[in-house]
Amino acid sequence: MDRNTLLLFAGIGAVLLLASLVGFILKRRAGDTPNSVIDNLNARINAWWVMVLVIGTAFLFGNTGVIVLFYGVSFYALREFMTLTPTRRSDYPALVAAFYFALPVQYLLIGIDWYGMFSIFIPVYLFLLLPILASLGGDTTRFLERASKVQWGLMIAVYCISAVPALLTLDIPGYEGRNLLLIAWLVIVVQLSDVLQYVCGKLAGKHKIAPLLSPSKTVEGFVGGVALATLVGALLCWITPFSFWQAAALALLVNLLGFAGGLVMSAIKRDRGVKDWGHMIEGHGGMLDRLDSVCFAAPIFFHVVRYWWA
């Protein structure tokens, strides 16, 4: 790891340490009375420690480590998506293709840096292959709906998430060998935006933005969270190839997309009648609950950076 990366992780460690301290003091003050908000906060902070440790370990192994990490992330996200949106018996070949073909091949294509293929592999080739496989079973019940579910799951859980490690393939003049930091910047800004929206909402939230979709999202939380995360993104411009104002504009872009991602993914959850996508991360729900904003921000960020900087 170079000096900037170490500095960055030290900074994240300091923020988490502060958060843990605050959580500890709140818990002490609450005493014996059980408080679900404080308990959830502490569960979230602990989960953040684990997540930062996992990402840090992947960074130690360089590009390969990050690609393997996001392969795992996509796998868990895809499994949550397919579990929550049931398919029928004759979708089996399509699901096998999704888990055992599309997922590894997409990450392999990113690993070998074949942009022309990994950018269209799922949206074009799998878009055609999956319904072909599904039709072989001869079951026409809700065919269009089933075909869309598998395709959508692949787009969200594999294509969109794989845009994060795909940032490693970009050749940005003057930024050689530092692409890992670009990933760190994107993940920090988008996740921080989620956290700050939550915090601002809890402190000052009054007006609900979309009560039917997500009762906890408020105008105050949205404005405060996005503004603060955009500011942090701009202040972190020293780890990116962007100038201060470019970093601010890109941070605003990914924050708005991240917010929209949260709304869309929560619409799917409401439709299926559940609160969380899964149960793998204590205090956060499932993998997709943590990554809904990244899913929407990453592919657009990738293409914008590729178009203007690479």
Partner 1 sequence: MLASFVAFAITSAARLLTGARALWLGCTAQPVQRLYYANHSSHGDFVLLWASLPDELRRTTRPVAGADYWQKGGLRSFLINQVFNGVLVDRDRSSPEHNPLQPMLDALGQGDSLIIFPEGTRNLGDDPLLPFKSGLYHLAKANPQVEVIPVWIANLNRVMPKGRALPLPLLCTLSFGAPLERLADEDKAAFLERARNALLALAPEEA
* Only segment of 72-80, 128-136, 206-214, 257-265 that touches partner 1 (CB under 8 A): 72-80
Distant-in-sequence, close-in-space partners of 15: CB < 8 Å, separation ≥ 6: none
User: Is 99 near partner 1 (CB under 8 A)?
Assistant: yes
* Only segment of 62-70, 167-175, 216-224, 271-279 that touches partner 1 (CB under 8 A): 271-279
User: Is 136 near partner 1 (CB under 8 A)?
Assistant: no
By the 10 Å C-beta count (0-12 exposed, 13-18 middle, 19+ buried), 206 is classed as exposed
User: Is 83 near partner 1 (CB under 8 A)?
Assistant: yes
End-to-end Cα, the chain, rounded Å: 23
Beta bridge partners of 13: none
Helix axes 179-204, 287-308, angle to 10 degrees: 130
The residue (of 64 and 83) whose beta carbon lies closer to partner 1 is: 83
Q: Minimum distance from CB of 280 to partner 1 (Å)? A: 8
Torsion-angle region of 138 (φ positive above 0: left; ψ -120 to 50: alpha; else: beta): left
Q: Do 66 and 58 form a contact (C-beta atoms < 8 A)?
A: yes
User: Is 270 near partner 1 (CB under 8 A)?
Assistant: no
The residue (of 207 and 272) whose beta carbon lies closer to partner 1 is: 272
Q: Which of 8, 19, 73, 95 binds partner 1 (CB under 8 A)?
A: 95
Residues 295, 159: Cα–Cα separation, whole Å: 9
Q: Minimum distance from CB of 104 to partner 1 (Å)? A: 13
The residue (of 270 and 272) whose beta carbon lies closer to partner 1 is: 272
Q: Minimum distance from CB of 98 to partner 1 (Å)? A: 9
| CA geometry: angle 111, 113, 119, nearest 5 deg | 100
User: Is 80 near partner 1 (CB under 8 A)?
Assistant: yes
Q: Do 91 and 146 form a contact (C-beta atoms < 8 A)?
A: yes
Q: Which of 68, 267, 280, 300 binds partner 1 (CB under 8 A)?
A: 280
User: Is 175 near partner 1 (CB under 8 A)?
Assistant: no
Interface ranges with partner 1 (CB under 8 A): 75, 79-80, 82-83, 85-87, 89, 92, 95-96, 99-100, 272-273, 278-280
